[in-house]
C-alpha cells in the first residue's frame, strides 16, 4: 500500500533563510509522481512542484526545489529565501502512473519569523 509520511508537524524558519520540509513515501510501484501543495490560512490548496520517479534531475520551481532521493524514498521540499507569505501548511502527495488515487501526507505547518 502507498503511504506518505511527514514527520514534522510544525517548523519555524527565520525570514530569508532556507528551510527543508521532509517527506518520505512507501510504494511498490515503479512509475509514480510526487507533488507538494501549499495551503495558506485562507484554505485553498496551491500546487507547488512535481517530481517524476524517472526524472534524474531534481525539480525546481522558483524558490522551491525538490530534493529527490529515490533509493531512500524521500522527496523533501526546500524553500530558499523564506518569506512571511510562506507561512502555511505544506502537503506532500504521491500518485502512481495512471492511478486515480492521490495519497497525501498529514502535512507540515511552516511558520516564518520576521
SS3 content of the chain, % helix, strand, coil (to 5): 5, 55, 45
Contact (Cβ atoms closer than 8 angstroms) between residue 13 and residue 19:
yes
Contacts with other proteins, 81-100, as mask; x by CB under 8 A: ----------x-x-xxxxxx
Q: Which three cell numbers stand for residue 25?
A: 513515501
Spatial separation of the C-alpha atoms in residues 54 and 45, rounded to whole Å: 26
CB 76 → other proteins: shortest distance, Å? Answer: 17
Report the residue from 13, 21, 25, 32 that binds other proteins according to the rule CB under 8 A: 32
Among positions 8, 11, 22, 50, the unique one binding other proteins when judged by CB under 8 A:
50
Is position 31 an interface residue for other proteins (rule: CB under 8 A)?
Answer: yes
Cell of 11: 517548523
Pick 14 or 69: Cβ nearer other proteins:
69
- Determine, following the binding rule CB under 8 A, whether residue 5 of this chain makes contact with other proteins: no
Apex 25 CA angle, 20 and 27, nearest 5: 160
Angle (nearest 5°) at CA 24 between 12 and 8: 25
Q: Applying CB under 8 A, does 64 fall inside the site for other proteins?
A: no
Site of interaction with other proteins (CB under 8 A): 4, 9, 31-33, 35, 37, 42-47, 50, 52-53, 91, 93, 95-102, 104-107
Amino acid at each position: 500500500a502507498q503511504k506518505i509520511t511527514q514527520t514534522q508537524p510544525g517548523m519555524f524558519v527565520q525570514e530569508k533563510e532556507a528551510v527543508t520540509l521532509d517527506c518520505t513515501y512507501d510504494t511498490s510501484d515503479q512509475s509514480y509522481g510526487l507533488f507538494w501543495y501549499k495551503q495558506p490560512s485562507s484554505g485553498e490548496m496551491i500546487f507547488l512542484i512535481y517530481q517524476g520517479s524517472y526524472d534524474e534531475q531534481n525539480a525546481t520551481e522558483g524558490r522551491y526545489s525538490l530534493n529527490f532521493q529515490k533509493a531512500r524514498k524521500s522527496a523533501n521540499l526546500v524553500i530558499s529565501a523564506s518569506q512571511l507569505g510562506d507561512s502555511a501548511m505544506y502537503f506532500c502527495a504521491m500518485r502512481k502512473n495512471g492511478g486515480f488515487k492521490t495519497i497525501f501526507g498529514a502535512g507540515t505547518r511552516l511558520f516564518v519569523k520576521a
